[in-house]
Amino acid sequence: MSIISKDISKAIQLLTAEDIVAIPTETVYGLAGNIYSEKAIKSIFETKKRPFFNPLIVHIPSIDQLSDIVAYIPEKAQLLAEAFWPGPITLVLKKKAIIPDLITGGKDTVAVRVPNHPTTLELLNRLNFPLAAPSANPFSSISPTTALHVETYFKNNIRMVLDGGACTSGIESTIIGFENDEPIIYRLGSTAIEAIEAVVGKIEIKNTVTEAPKQKTIPDAPGMLARHYAPKTKTVLTENVQETLDLYKNKRIGLITFQSEINHKIIEVQIALSKSGDLEESASNLYDILHQLDNMHLDVIIAEKLPDYGLGKSINDRLTRATK
Ligand code: TXA
Ligand code: MG
């Protein structure tokens, strides 16, 4: 029997009973539990097989609850929250003592966001506790953007996926930390860096793949571990598709292009992220296309690098991690 359901009241019942439920957001589906329930939070880590040092994002229904969670809000954090919430920006701020160490991996900061999805906003409004929710995928595999992706991963491990349709943004939230009250991007994501800079000025990116490719220590945002968001199939990112195709002559090839169709008889399947060259559309299609190709038992997935601005930059970041 399917665990996918639209029944918000049932999700409330399960979450209130310290169980975990997969929930829709505008970015990716999350695996959610009551932040104050040790049982629920442990079960999130166990279900995902995620190491305990990798902290979770706290989801709240509105900016009004931010001061319940964090001890201090820098001016630029306030500006970003006002500009982008509800929406795909996560702020990493000094935590209040009430936030359990299990949520933060022992750090004195907590990641928090207001997701922009009507179903989950209603759920959060009806609950009297915030939800911790990492992406609803086994550790380091491709994030889920449909209820079916989650069910395929976890049908034997969880009791319910709250169905909110396909995620519209399609890649994870942009994570912003603060050093000396100045914002720093810890993870590129669904909010384009240019949009953020329009609110707070020039912003530094830390912990990207290019700056810290093979980290042995715990990174500031462990989602920035080099290998992440990865298909099981060998994946290659390239700026020159024709040349790369020639390298895999006798292989079963799946090709992901930005917008064009490539004429080359050795390609088994090819999919364009956005035929009209739209970066938002590309982001919303990315993980579903990776899921599809990964299920086809190909020898290699070749992905074309996108233009390196706006959401193209965030997509390139994810594709780079998929190749590690
Ligand atoms: O879009 C999203 O952000 C989705 C949806 C479900 O909200 N969530 C998500 O969670 O991507 P997750 O756990 O897959 O990624 C959260 C990232 C992790 O890389 C984690 O290390 C980082 O946020 N993080 C959480 N708390 C942190 C903290 N206190 N300091 C630095 N990084 C933190
Ligand atoms: Mg994740």
The DSSP line for 244-270 is HHHHTTTS-EEEEESSPPP--TTEEEE
Cβ atoms within 10 Å, residue 82: 10
Contact 306, 312 (CB under 8 A): yes
The ligand with the least distance to the CA atom of 44 is 1
Distance 140 CA to ligand 2 centre (A): 7
Determine the distance from the C-alpha atom of residue 238 to the mean position of all C-alpha atoms in its chain, rounded to a whole number.
23
Question: Whose Cα sits closest to atom 33 in ligand 1?
Answer: 221
Which ligand 1 atom sits nearest the alpha carbon of residue 225? 19
Distance 26 CA to ligand 2 centre (A): 14
Mind listing the pLDDT tens digit for each residue in 254-277? 999 999 999 888 899 999 999 999
Nearest-angstrom CA–CA distance, 236 and 300: 7
Does 107 contact ligand 1 (Cβ within 6 A)?
yes
- Number of Cα atoms under 13 Å in the Cβ half of residue 217: 4
Residue 302 has pLDDT above 50, yes or no: yes
Helix (H) or strand (E) holding 311: helix 311-322
Burial of 259 (0-12, 13-18, 19+ CB in 10 A): middle
Which ligand 1 atom sits nearest the alpha carbon of residue 103? 26
Residue 217 has pLDDT above 50, yes or no: no
Nearest-angstrom CA–CA distance, 102 and 104: 6
Distance 262 CA to ligand 2 centre (A): 32
* 4-211: in CATH 3.90.1300.10: no
Distance 78 CA to ligand 2 centre (A): 25
Which ligand 1 atom sits nearest the alpha carbon of residue 169? 1
Sign of CA dihedral 296, 301, 307, 308: positive
What is the architecture of the domain spanning 235-322?
Answer: 3-Layer(aba) Sandwich (3.40)
pLDDT score at 212: 31
Which ligand 1 atom sits nearest the alpha carbon of residue 57? 25
Does 56 contact ligand 1 (Cβ within 6 A)?
yes
> Would you say the CATH fold of 235-322 matches that of 4-211?
no
Q: Residue ranges per domain, the chain?
A: 4-211, 235-322
Does 87 contact ligand 1 (Cβ within 6 A)?
no
Mind listing the pLDDT tens digit for each residue in 72-88? 999 999 999 999 999 99
* Structure-derived torsion over alpha carbons of residues 173, 178, 182, 186, reported in degrees to the nearest 10: -40
Q: What is the 3-state secondary structure (H, E, C) of 44-69?
A: HHHHHCCCCCCCCEEECCCHHHHHHH
Question: Whose Cα sits closest to atom 17 in ligand 1?
Answer: 223
Which ligand 1 atom sits nearest the alpha carbon of residue 223? 19
Give the predicted TM-score (pTM) of the model.
Answer: 0.94
Which residues share a beta bridge with 176?
91, 185
Which residues share a beta bridge with 110?
93
Which ligand 1 atom sits nearest the alpha carbon of residue 54? 21
Does 221 contact ligand 1 (Cβ within 6 A)?
yes
Read out DSSP for 10-55? HHHHHHHTT--EEE--SSS-EEEEETT-HHHHHHHHHHHT--TTS-
- Cα–Cα nearest to 30, from 16, 19, 20: 20
Helix (H) or strand (E) holding 224: none
Which residue among 28, 29, 57, 153 is best mutated to probe the pocket of ligand 1, counting the most ligand atoms within 8 A of its Cβ? 57
Mind listing the pLDDT tens digit for each residue in 153-163? 999 999 999 99
Give the CA angle between residues 127, 111, 7 to the nearest 5°: 30
pLDDT score at 213: 34
Mean pLDDT throughout 287-291? 97
Cβ atoms within 10 Å, residue 141: 19
Question: Whose Cα sits closest to atom 22 in ligand 1?
Answer: 221
Contact 113, 173 (CB under 8 A): yes
Contact 173, 28 (CB under 8 A): no
Lowest model confidence (mean pLDDT) among 190-204, 205-219, 228-242: 205-219
